[in-house]
Amino acid sequence: MADYAAEGKSLARIDGKVIFMENAIPGDIVDVKLTRNKKDWGEGFVTTYHEYSSDRVKPFCSHFGVCGGCQWQMLPYEKQLFYKQKQVEDNLSRIGKVLLPPILPIIGGSVDRYYRNKMEYTFSNKRFLLQQELRDPTISSRQNSAGFHAKGIFDKVVNIDTCYLQAEPTNQLRKAVEKWGNENDVSFYDIQMHEGFLRTMQIRICITGEIMVNIVFGYEDEEKIKSLADYLLSSFPTITTLLYTINTKKNDSMYDLLPRVFYGKGFVIEKLSAEPGEDFYFKIGPKSFFQTNTKQAERLYNVTKEFAGLTNTETLYDLYCGTGSIGIFLSPRAKKIIGVDVISEAIEDAKENAMLNKIEHANFVAGDVVDVCDDAFFSQYGKPDVIITDPPRAGMHEKLVRKILEMEAEKIIYVSCNPATQARDLNLLDEKYMVEKIQPVDMFPHTHHIENVAKLVRR
C-alpha cells in the first residue's frame, strides 16, 4: 500500500493503475481481489496479508472492523492526523486548483476515546455472527442484540459489549435496556418485516452533567413503556430527561416524529467555552443538531472566531446556522448576527439559544439562503461584512455560491466537513476571493472524517 485516498480507503499503484481497497494501511503487502476493474483504476478487498506495515497498532476495541465505526484504530493517532492533513492538502490542491497558503498543522483531539456527546443504538432480533461465533451452539443469528448495524449489512446488528466512543453510563444503559427486553419477553425490531417493539435508543451526555435518553418503540404499549422507563430511572438516577418516541415508519429518521417526555424537562443544556469566563449554553432537544464532539467544537469555533477577526462593528451572516451555535459563539465580537437555515425547527432552537445566552443582537431566519437573501432582506438586516458558511457534506449549491459572490462581504469563513466539496466551492469563489488561511481540525478520532476551516478575503 502506498497511500490513503478519500473515505479512508488505501491505494496502491500497479503499472500506472490505481487500486483502491479497504482494511489496508500504507506499508502493508497484500493480495487483492478486484470487485471493479476499469482501465485506469480498480477497487477490491484484501484476501491475504503477506506483511504488515510497521505503522500498525493493535485496535483497542474488540468490535473493530465489524461494526463499521472507528475505521482507523489500527493506525496510531499521530499517523491518522498525518493522513487527514494530507487529505486536506491533496483535495484543495487537486480539486480546488486555486492559489493556497501553507496549510496550518491539523488540530488533533485532546482525547481519542469517549469524545462523542451523542450515540444511537439499534435493537434487533437478528444478530451478526463473527467467524468464531458461527461454531458456538449457544449463539444464534436469530438472537436479540443491541448495538450497531454490521458494516455493509442493513438487517443485522453487532451485539456490542463495550463501545469507547461515549462515556458511561452509555454502555450500561444499552445493556440495561437489552436485559429488560429479554427478561420481559419483549420483541426486538425486525428491520426486514418492519415489526417489533424495541427499536432504537439515543443517548446524549453533556459536559454539564445532564443526560438525555430517548427510546424509540415500534408501536404503542403504555404498560411496557412505563415499565421500562421506571426501571431505567430507578437504575440510573443520573438521567435528567427521559423521552420515548413511537415510530411505525419503515425508516429510522426522527424529523417527522414526536418525542414524548416521560421524565424531566424534555431537553438538556450543553456548554461551549470560548475562553475563560466566556461560556455559552445551548438547549438541545431529541431532534436538535449539535456538534457531537463538544471539546473539539470549542476548538473549531475558536478557529472560526480567530479567522473572522471581528471588531464589534461587523454584520455577520451565519449561513447553514442550524441551532445557532457558531453565530452565538462569535456574538460578543459582532455588531449584528444574522443566521439563516432552511430547517425551521433548527431556527426555533437558535432563537431559544440566543435568549438563553441573553443575546439581543441576533436574528435567525428560516428559509433557503438563495431565496431569502434579496434586496428587501438586505434593506432590513444590512449586507454582511463577514459570512460564515457551514454546509453539509455535499457542499454549497452553485446558486448559493453565486449569491455569496453577489453579497461581496469582505471575508468568508468556510467551515467544511468534506474538503473535496469545499475545494470545488473554493474554485468557484476564486472569482472574487483569495484563500488566506486554512486550518484542519480533527473532530472524530479513529475515523476518516475531517473538518477544515478556510478564510477567504475579497480581492
* Dihedrals phi, psi of 142, to nearest 5 degrees: -95, 30
Contacts of 408 (CB under 8 A, 6+ apart): 383, 432, 458
Helices (H), 275-334: 294-308, 325-330
Q: Out of 67, 206, 373, 417, pick the active-site residue.
A: 417
Question: How many CB atoms sit inside 10 A of residue 383's CB?
Answer: 16
User: Residue 45 is placed in which grid cell?
Assistant: 478487498
Helices (H), 18-116: 77-91
Can you tell me the distance from the alpha carbon of 233 to that of 237, in angstroms, rounded to the nearest whole number?
A: 6
Instruction: Please indicate whether residue 321 is annotated as part of the active site.
Output: no
Can you tell me the distance from the alpha carbon of 456 to that of 433, in angstroms, rounded to the nearest whole number?
A: 6
H/E element holding 423?
A: helix 419-429
User: Residue 457 is placed in which grid cell?
Assistant: 478575503
Write down how long the chain is: 459
- ω into residue 169 within 30 of 0, thus cis? yes
Cα angle at 163 between 214 and 82, to 5 degrees?
Answer: 115
Catalytic machinery residues: 417
